[in-house]
Amino acid sequence: MITGSIAGIGAGLAAIGAGIGIGQIGGKAMEGMARQPEAAGRIQTAMLIAAAFVEAVALFGVVVAFLGTK
Amino acid sequence: MDLSQILNSKKLVHIAFYAVFFACVTFTVSAQEPEKVEEPHVTRSEMNAPHEEKEEDISATILHHIADSHEWHFWGEGEHKVSVPLPVILWTQNGLVTFLSNKHDENDHGTEIFEEKGQPMVNYHGKYYYPGQKNAEGAYVEIDENGVPTNAKPLDVSITKNVVSLFLSVIVLLLVFTGIAKSYRVREMKAPKGLQSILEPIIIFVRDDIAKPQLGHRYAAFMPYLLTVFFFVWLNNLMGLIPFFPGGANLTGNISVTMMLALCTFVLTTVNGNKNYWGHVFTPHVPWWLYPLMIPVEIIGLFTKPIALMIRLFANITAGHILILSLISLIFILKSVFVAGIAVPFVIFISVIELVVGFIQAFIFTILSALFIGMAVEEHTAH
Amino acid sequence: MTLLALNPLVSPDPGLFIWSTVAFLLLFFLLSKFAWKPIVKALDERERSIEDALAKAEMAKEEMAKLTNENELLLKQARSERDDILKQAKILKDQIVSDAKVSAQTEGSKMIEKARIEIENQKIAAIAEVKDQVATLSIQIAEKLLRKQFEDQNKQNALVTDLLKEVKLN
């Protein structure tokens, strides 16, 4: 018998989406850095900002899960 | 260089400080947390609770560790508890009420009404409420379906554990940076030395990698705010990782603090927003018939930015703490000390990652603040 | 707000909010006044001074290079001048030497010629004297011989007769 809140599933789904997103961002940033090592610093900053935006979505999911569970 | 010089050198002191710091982070997380996690187990066994509630216990313990508290708890439980009581300041219907938290903390199940300045109150799980109807468990609180009391409560402006930690971090930051400012004055035009040389690259990092790219030539006006936010968030992230006295308060993992920080950025953005910024909100570059749709979206966008900022920092730091505590709790969930062999290295690993996350989150918070302010003060957009 | 009140973790605590606002704003104002302003100013100033110093060093280097160049040029010039002077001196010396040689030769040959002429003259004079003396001696010898010849009367007669005979024949 599985017990618990369905909110956990929601948080997990949000994490999947964000994981895919951050993976894409990281992968593309690596490609960019490999292609243009001299721009690595700027790419890294942009990558972190983009990753933070994507991550926020997953964190909203986690917070909603918090809201739903006590 | 002779031996005494080596022993007196500031560098050595710093190295020793960091060594002790990191050792403490890893050692005490592995050594002390188990004790803490045991607390509910002891209390529950005293109450003869069935074992099925164990899991619920552990999540409650973890949440308890992350939450704020009216006392600074060190170790032990019940009679052997070692903790420092902190002042409770309540703004009640009868005016200001102050007392030390250990005065009314024997009964935190809300079953006993005490009076301060003629104001009856109950202590329910470390929070003070006005007493209501007595419920089935004998507590004078009305609990809703989520287990949260719905009683009216006084405005609690106590010096809690988080507030003490906040003051500590503020004092540390003031001492460190006014000290550095002094050494800049004393050693004018000279190479940095000591603490100055450790923090100068970070200050330059904030200026060159955060402020300048996002704010352009207007960076100078916002440097003080960005530097303050960066070092405040970073220091509190690190202090939250220390599981005993100077740290352990999880300040940046508290939504009130991140809300305050996000609100500061929001206020700065709103106050500094120029015609172009507001024009972008109220007259977006879309056909006029889309305005009813776009203007609300843009207005919501104004608020989601600081809210995302608030949630991001809070959730990142809280998630890190929960992760560490959960790994330690594995020992108690699986009821075997040998799990520590796997759990403790994992905790050390996560702790090191959290050190990095602590820096990255401070960086992200600052750069996003700079980005939002930069969007507000930008002269003209590309489109 | 009822939704936020569900979990204590995500419900903002007004007390902490107030304290953190107060503490953060205080920190912000104190640090901006007493730390960030002097630090950022000192950093900017130091950077500017370093940049200035670098620019100055660059300028000094250029100046130095210019000076060195000039020096080198001067040196080169001086060297070539010296070489010229030396060359000229050498030519002069050679000329003087050769002139001296020529004049010495002509002088010498002149003197030799003079000496020869003198010698010749002396010789001629000496020969003339010798001739004179020889003539005197031979006259004296002849006188003496004649005197001895003609001490005898007969011989004189005989000669006179001989001489006379010769005259007849003519």
DSSP string covering B98-109: EEEGGGG-S--E
pLDDT of the residue at C51? 92
pLDDT of the residue at B373? 92
Q: What is the pLDDT of residues B44-100, one digit of tens each?
A: 333 444 444 555 577 778 878 888 888 888 777 767 778 888 888 888 888 888 888
Q: Reduce the DSSP state of residue B173 to 3 states and report it.
A: helix
A17-31, C73-87, C106-120, C143-157: least confident range: C143-157
Pairing of strands B155-156, B87-92: antiparallel
pLDDT of the residue at B52? 47
Nearest C-alpha in C relative to A62: C10
Task: Please give the structure tokens belonging to residue A36.
Answer: 């243009």
Q: What is the pLDDT of residues B103-119, one digit of tens each?
A: 877 777 777 788 777 77
Cα–Cα distance measured from residue C43 to residue B217, given in angstroms and rounded to the nearest whole number: 17
Region C65-81: what's the mean pLDDT? 94
pLDDT of the residue at B239? 92
Q: Chain C partners of A66 at a C-beta cutoff of 8 Å?
A: 7, 9-10
pLDDT of the residue at C59? 94
Answer whether residue C6 is part of any domain: no
Cα–Cα distance measured from residue B86 to residue B91, given in angstroms and rounded to the nearest whole number: 16
Inform me whether the C-beta atom of residue C169 falls under 8 Å from chain B C-beta atoms: no
Q: Chain B partners of A42 at a C-beta cutoff of 8 Å?
A: 213
Selected residue of A63, A67, A69 to mutate for chain B interface (largest B Cβ count, 10 A): A63
Structural domain spans, chain B: 9-28+162-382, 76-159
Confidence tier at B174 by pLDDT (50, 70, 90): very high
Q: How many domains does chain C have?
A: 1
Domain with C36, as residue range(s), is: 14-164
Confidence tier at C169 by pLDDT (50, 70, 90): low
Residue bearing the bigger pLDDT, B193 or B253: B253
The alpha carbon of residue B341 and the mean position of all alpha carbons in its chain are separated, in whole angstroms, by 30
Q: Chain B partners of C45 at a C-beta cutoff of 8 Å?
A: 188-189
Distance from CA of A56 to the nearest CA of C (A): 15
Answer whether residue C5 is part of any domain: no
A38-42, B204-208, B247-251: least confident range: B247-251
pLDDT at B376 over 70: yes
Task: Please give the structure tokens belonging to residue B245.
Answer: 């006295």
Nearest C-alpha in A relative to C8: A70
Closest CA to B256 of C145, C24, C55: C24
pLDDT at B26 over 50: no
pLDDT at B124 over 70: yes
Percent pLDDT > 90 in chain A is 31
Residue bearing the bigger pLDDT, B180 or B127: B180
Cα–Cα distance measured from residue B250 to residue B243, given in angstroms and rounded to the nearest whole number: 9
ipTM of this predicted structure: 0.80
Q: What is the mean pLDDT of chain B?
A: 80
pLDDT of the residue at B46? 39
Q: Please, which chains are in contact with B (at least 3 CB pairs closer than 8 A)? A: A, C
With CB atoms and an 8 Å threshold, state whether C32 touches B228. yes
Q: Chain C partners of A69 at a C-beta cutoff of 8 Å?
A: 7
Q: What is the pLDDT of residues C90-142, one digit of tens each?
A: 999 999 999 999 999 999 999 999 999 999 999 999 999 999 988 988 888 88
Answer whether residue C45 is part of any domain: yes
- Is the Cβ–Cβ distance between B209 and B360 less than 8 Å? no
Answer whether residue C8 is part of any domain: no
The dihedral sign for the CA sequence B343, B344, B350, B353: negative
pLDDT of the residue at B381? 55
With CB atoms and an 8 Å threshold, state whether B311 touches A56. yes
Residue B269 CB coordination number (10 Å): 21
Region C56-79: what's the mean pLDDT? 94
Burial status of residue C39 (CB atoms within 10 A of its CB: 0-12, 13-18, 19 or more): buried
Minimal Cβ distance to B364: which of A42, A48, A62: A48
Confidence tier at C2 by pLDDT (50, 70, 90): very low
pLDDT of the residue at C86? 94
pLDDT at C56 over 90: yes
Which stretches of chain A sit within 8 Å of chain C by CB? Answer: 63, 66-70
Answer whether residue C148 is part of any domain: yes
Q: What is the pLDDT of residues B129-159, one digit of tens each?
A: 888 777 777 777 777 766 677 778 888 888 8
pLDDT of the residue at B63? 79
Q: What is the pLDDT of residues B217-269, one digit of tens each?
A: 888 889 999 999 999 999 999 999 988 777 778 889 888 999 999 999 999 99
Residue bearing the bigger pLDDT, B146 or A50: A50
